[in-house]
Structures are given as C-alpha cells and as structure tokens.
Amino acid sequence: MSPISFLEIEGLRKSYGANEVLRGIDLSVEQHQVVCLIGASGCGKSTLLRCVNALETIDEGQIRLDGDVVSGEGTDVDRLRRDVGIVFQAFNLFPHMRVLDNITLGPRRIHRHSRAAAEAQALELLERVGLAAKAGAYPDQLSGGQQQRVAIVRALAMNPRVLLLDEITSALDPELVAEVLGIVRDLAAEGMTMLLATHEMSFAREVAHTVCFLHEGVILEQGPPERIFGAPTEPRTQAFLHRIVEAGRL
C-alpha cells in the first residue's frame, strides 16, 4: 500500500448538466506542502477547490483528509470546513460587519470561542498582516489588498489544517498583488498546507512544491515547478506557458 497523503483526491468527476467540468482528477497534497493549480480560464480550477470544501457536490470519486473520507453522503461538512479554509478571488467579506467581527464570527459561532478570546486572536493575526489598525473599519473602507488580507486572516482564525486559495490576487490592482502574495509566502514558510489556483506563474514557481496543469477537467501534467515551467512535456502545457510568456506574465 502506498503511504497516505494528507489530502487525497481520487477519480473526482463533476458535471454541471451536460458539461463535465472535472473528468477524473487524481491529486495528492502532502502536509506542509504547497500545490499550485494552473491552467486556462474555464479548465476547472475553481470547481476543483469548491469540491474539496464541499461547496459543490461531486458525482464520482473520493476526497480524503488525513485518511478520513470527506466527500459524499454522511460527510460532516461543518467539520470539513473547520479543517479546510478557503479564500476567494472576490474576498467575500460581510460588508455590514467590521473587520474584527468578520474575523471573529467563525471562531465564536463554530469553535464557540468567547468574544474576548476570539478578538484577542483576531488582533494578533491582524497584527501579523499589518492591519491591526483596521480592526474597527468596514470592508469598504479598505483597499482590495487590505480586504484580501482580512479574508486570509478570517480563514486562518479557524485554525485550518489546509488552506484553499482561489486566484486570490486576480481581483486586485497590480500594485496590491505583492502585499497579498507576501502573506501566502509567509504561510508557506511556516508550513501551512495549501492548494491554490493562480495566474501568478512566477509566484507559483517560487512557492509551489508541485505544480499541476489542468486542461479541460484533467490534470495533464504535474511535477516540481522547475520541470513544469522549465521543461513541460505535454504540448498543451507548452502552448499554455507560451501564451503566458507572450503576455509577459512569466
């Protein structure tokens, strides 16, 4: 028997109506590793991440976390979402709540932390991302980069075992991208297990242990970043990276 990986996705299939979006995904993420999903828009990156977090049901296959099945009927979705945090492209902060309340909502409701304990932890995390002074602000009083940093803190406040990041810099003005990627870089250095979809190829090259090229719902090629970016073997990977280079993004 092969050793168990921390997060294991096996034979995952997902359709929307007649459109089969994921067509048999096999993917493993080891603890403390960063796996980057790359591929053209529409290839299924977001759907894959959403399936892992049970935001979508799956049609076939299995997802396991630390050996436990976390897909299909009988899955404890609340527990899964405590273990697996997700950050979206569009931040998804609650606009009517202050930064501090956005962050403490989950720990108070789900972990049943006291307000004082949740706020102390939130402030500590905000401090780490340089936003302690914004604890009392509302999301629309923050820049996109600041909002996304708050969204990351909100996910971290739940003490997730894995973090899913879905193109978290795609909605940001270029000058704000670095402040968000810097946090992800720090998390990687601290050993956070992460599965992320990104268009930031140089970032993927820098932080990923494994890069997966997704094409029309299958992983066509995966390997260490040096190999995927330096010597891709699949013509479709080559063509994709060629387009990225031409666009000046690698």
Ligand X SMILES: Nc1ncnc2c1ncn2[C@@H]1O[C@H](COP(=O)(O)OP(=O)(O)O)[C@@H](O)[C@H]1O
Chain positions contacting Mg ion, by CB under 5 A: 45-46
What is the Cα 111 distance to its own chain's centre?
A: 21
CB of 247 to ligand X, least distance (A): 16
CB of 16 to ligand X, least distance (A): 3
**For residue 209, is it left (φ>0), alpha (ψ between -120 and 50) or beta?**
alpha
Site for ligand X in 202-231 (CB under 6 A): none
CB of 166 to ligand X, least distance (A): 7
Q: Give the closest residue to 141 by CA, choosing from 173, 96, 174.
A: 96
Assess 106 for contact with ligand X (CB under 6 A).
no
Over the window 21 to 50, marking each residue x when it contacts ligand X by CB under 6 A and - when it does not, the resulting string is: x-----------------x-xxxxxxx---
Return the number of the residue (43 or 156) whose C-beta is nearest ligand X: 43
CB of 117 to ligand X, least distance (A): 36
Site for ligand X in 39-98 (CB under 6 A): 39, 41-47
Report how far residue 137's alpha carbon sits from residue 149's, in angstroms, rounded to the nearest whole number: 13
For ligand X, the binding residue among 1, 16, 67, 190 (CB under 6 A) is: 16
Residue 16 near which of ligand X, Mg ion, none (CB within 5-8 Å, type-dependent): ligand X
Report the residue number whose CB is nearest to Mg ion: 46
Residue 21 near which of Mg ion, ligand X, none (CB within 5-8 Å, type-dependent): ligand X
Residue 47 near which of Mg ion, ligand X, none (CB within 5-8 Å, type-dependent): ligand X
CB of 49 to Mg ion, least distance (A): 8
- Residue ranges that bind ligand X, judged by CB under 6 A: 16, 19, 21, 39, 41-47
